[in-house]
Amino acid sequence: MTWPVNKSLLTAPLSNGLLKRIKNITLPDELSIRWRYLVDLCALGWIGWFAWQYAGFLIQDDLYLYGDHPGQFHRLWQLVTIVWPEEGRLMGWAPHWHAGRPELQFYPPGAAMAGWLLWMISFQQLSLFVIYQSLVFASYILPAIGLYLLLAWGLGDRLAGLAAAWLVMTFPFPLGGVQGVIIGILGYQLAFGLIPFLILSGLWLMRARHKLRPWLVTGFILAATILLHPFQFLLPLGVLMLYIFLCKEDRRRRLYWLVSVVLLALSLTAFWWLPLASQRQFFVPVIEGPLQDIRTHFENMWSAEMGWLLACAFIGSLFRQGHRRALSLALLLAGLALFGFIFFNALVLVARFQLYLLDSVRLIAGVTCILLAGAALGLAELAWAGIRLLRRRRWNMVGLPLLIIAPLFFYNQFNEKHDFTKWMSKWQPAYDRTPLFLNEAEAKYRFSEVWQVMAQTPGRILYTSSYALLFDVPTSLKTLTPYLAGREMVGGAFTIRSPVASYLWSGQLAPPVLHGKVEAEDDKRFAGVPWEAMTDVFLFNLVRHFNVTLIATTPTDIKARAFLDGASQFKPAWSNSLFTLYEVSGYEPAWAEAERAAATVTRYDRTAIDVEITDAAPDATLLVKVAYFPRWRAEMNGQPLPIQMSDYGLISIDLPPGSYAVNLRYGPAWPERLGGMISLATVLLALGSLFKSRGWSRGFSRFPA
């Protein structure tokens, strides 16, 4: 089967207009569908080879330590080994960081859920390290596959698809580039990789005659994007809305289907966002980057070559036909609109109206996607124009430079600026460099001794910094303390949006917004107090309230160590080249304590705490050293007791007089139950309609391959 070509254009006179003639002869359209799929198979094989060549080292039974990877692994570990086995739920109370919180309820749970799904599919046989590292590798290769398929199937330009795949696998920047894979923003990168698939499935929905199956596929991809990183669905929805507007046909019906896809995705994800919306007061807003940081990101991404390539892509899109013209223009215009909205959000919504719903920095990946796709389209436009000009007499000398010299010039400029091979090699393991994987680092630095010492004392461990340099590698290794030492911890994690984490960062439980990242405060302040102004009394009260028995510092915590060395209630207990541990003296550690009463903890589990109260006076209070959250319920002899938040963000209970037992239990409430019921019912209805429908490929046959 071949696609029709207007052959009269091959012999049309030059006076008809060069651009008009060459734009109506599209080389991919002259290939049969079978050959085009063969080209797709070869292209995907090359993408897989390239990804394995440069990122295959990530897949191993070990944990990559650079950046946020340890903390992301911790989220997967707590879901698979604690929450799911004990509760049979995907979200539950996680006690390990900052006195506890339902961690995956307030952080996009998609990456951890994807790991849980792989674990279940493997019949629980794969190790968590292999599962996690496979997800990291997927975050590298998925954007390349998606961009190739979007440009190859959506625009019929496989050359542009290959160029886009190469660019996204070599673009060494954190927001939508390879560095995002290296530093461990896992859910963010996986959501970035789904952007092209979401646009592609949306196009299938718009073009298909039978809508059910593409509607379900698009809804599930959108739901996955929301669970991985909700900011990333803005760009693909914008592209599809612009596509509907530019097509100028059947707009109302197509817009109806797009709105219905959004409703489907919201129903599928109700188990996550409905409880989050009901407890949004416990979600402390964070604006990670000021306007200057946003500008720096864009300045680093931009180059002179990008300008003329995007111009070529835009001019070329004007001469495309039908749906391909609408799609190419929608891609470029949506990227431009998102670029403008990022600055509008930072300058107006955040700076002027104090609306902290969106963090502009987290939207930059969408611009990256369009920037790389646009550059690839520009390169392809030059190459295809060169091929067409070579087929005409008197234009050979113009076609040859367009076909060969222009792409090679961009390749050389990009390689010279970024030197991808050299850049990527420094993130791979090497015998003569600092270890980048956990097992090798444990063997070289004797980490096992650290974890053994930490495991010997009860109570929590307090880290005086969050994200420090260990063995010359920036890492969130401290977040693995619960996994490696079996101990709960305070501090030592990256930016967490809870009241307790906010207090440790700023000294406030509920500030209007937190600016920057928590690691910016390392060795400067703790709980809002500069280390130069820290006092024994302040720090001792803090560690007593959080039931801290051990304080851990690293070599970069110079001011913190100077203070602790001179403090009377904090005694050095153990030290090596990486950690110095201090014991806290002067109080008896306990998970609960009472004023004007005697309290004895008889049970301390993740979701159940029992405390025996003796001789409580009329104005007695009980402090339970667990983070306050409304899903905790307290009872005395079957009668409910009201709980409130203490000055440190912990559970405080006013006690009635007498002697009795106080029982605290954590469990879901109506938002969790209602959200779960909505999502489960939506999945069942979707599966039922899927089995009743006919012909999976019937709608797909209308897709522009």
Is the domain of 412 the same as that of 278?
yes
Structure confidence at residue 404 (pLDDT): 64
Is the domain of 540 the same as that of 636?
no
Q: Identify residue 508 by its one-letter amino acid code.
A: Q
| Residue 370 binned pLDDT confidence (cut-offs 50, 70, 90) | very high
Contact 79, 70 (CB under 8 A): no
Is the domain of 158 the same as that of 238?
yes
pLDDT of 699 above 50: no
Bridge partners of 470?
473
DSSP string of 228-243, one letter each residue? H-GGGGHHHHHHHHHH
Is the domain of 568 the same as that of 607?
no
Placement of tokens 């859910």 in the chain: 187
Is 139 part of any domain? yes
Q: What is the 3-state secondary structure (H, E, C) of 310-353?
A: HHHHHHHHHCCCHHHHHHHHHHHHHHHHHHHHHHHHHHHHHCCC
Structure confidence at residue 7 (pLDDT): 35
Is the domain of 166 the same as that of 230?
yes
Nearest-angstrom CA–CA distance, 698 and 210: 7
* pLDDT, tens digit (0-9, with 9 covering 90-100), for 19-47: 444 344 444 444 467 778 888 999 999 99
Q: How many domains does the chain have?
A: 3
Is the domain of 240 the same as that of 340?
yes
**In this structure, are strands 570-575 and 529-530 parallel, antiparallel, or unpaired?**
unpaired
Contact 464, 494 (CB under 8 A): no
Nearest-angstrom CA–CA distance, 288 and 293: 9
**Cβ within 8 Å of residue 588, ≥6 positions away:** none
Contact 135, 190 (CB under 8 A): yes
- Please identify, among 584, 610, 639, the residue that sits at the C-terminal boundary of a domain: 584
Is the domain of 392 the same as that of 533?
no
Is 230 part of any domain? yes
3-state SS class at 552: strand
pLDDT of 703 above 80: no
Q: Which residue has the higher pLDDT, 321 or 204?
A: 204
Name the nearest CA neighbour of 521 among 561, 477, 491.
491
DSSP string of 74-90, one letter each residue? HHHHHIIIIIHHHHSSS
For 543, phi then psi, to 5°, come to -70, -30
Is the domain of 498 the same as that of 442?
yes
Structure confidence at residue 597 (pLDDT): 93
Nearest-angstrom CA–CA distance, 463 and 447: 16
**In this structure, are strands 580-584 and 548-553 parallel, antiparallel, or unpaired?**
antiparallel
Is 695 part of any domain? no
Structure confidence at residue 488 (pLDDT): 96
Contact 373, 338 (CB under 8 A): no
The answer to which of 4-18, 322-336, 364-378, 385-399 has the lowest mean pLDDT is 4-18
Is the domain of 505 the same as that of 613?
no
Structure confidence at residue 357 (pLDDT): 87
Nearest-angstrom CA–CA distance, 490 and 587: 18
pLDDT of 5 above 60: no
Contact 59, 137 (CB under 8 A): yes
* pLDDT, tens digit (0-9, with 9 covering 90-100), for 121-165: 999 999 999 999 999 999 999 999 999 999 999 998 888 999 999
pLDDT of 630 above 80: yes
Placement of tokens 């046959």 in the chain: 701
Is the domain of 579 the same as that of 596?
no
Is 79 part of any domain? no
Is the domain of 459 the same as that of 412?
no
Structure confidence at residue 587 (pLDDT): 86
Structure confidence at residue 231 (pLDDT): 93
651: domain CATH number is 2.60.40
Measured from the Cβ of residue 670, the count of other Cβ atoms closer than 10 Å reads 10
- Please identify, among 389, 419, 449, the residue that sits at the C-terminal boundary of a domain: 419
Structure confidence at residue 38 (pLDDT): 87
* pLDDT, tens digit (0-9, with 9 covering 90-100), for 632-657: 999 998 899 999 999 999 999 999 99
Placement of tokens 């967490």 in the chain: 496
- What are the structure tokens assigned to 117, written together? 């799904």
Structure confidence at residue 210 (pLDDT): 83
Nearest-angstrom CA–CA distance, 655 and 628: 17
Contact 62, 438 (CB under 8 A): yes
Placement of tokens 């008009």 in the chain: 20
Is the domain of 575 the same as that of 552?
yes
Mean pLDDT of the chain: 87
Structure confidence at residue 390 (pLDDT): 59
Domain of residue 543, residue span: 438-584
| Residue 387 binned pLDDT confidence (cut-offs 50, 70, 90) | low
pLDDT of 93 above 70: yes
Is 96 part of any domain? no
pLDDT of 604 above 50: yes
Q: Which residue has the higher pLDDT, 401 or 578?
A: 578
* pLDDT, tens digit (0-9, with 9 covering 90-100), for 222-253: 999 999 999 999 999 999 999 999 988 888 99
345 φψ region: left (φ > 0), alpha (ψ -120 to 50), beta (else):
alpha
Is 350 part of any domain? yes
Nearest-angstrom CA–CA distance, 385 and 399: 7
Is 85 part of any domain? no
Is 100 part of any domain? no
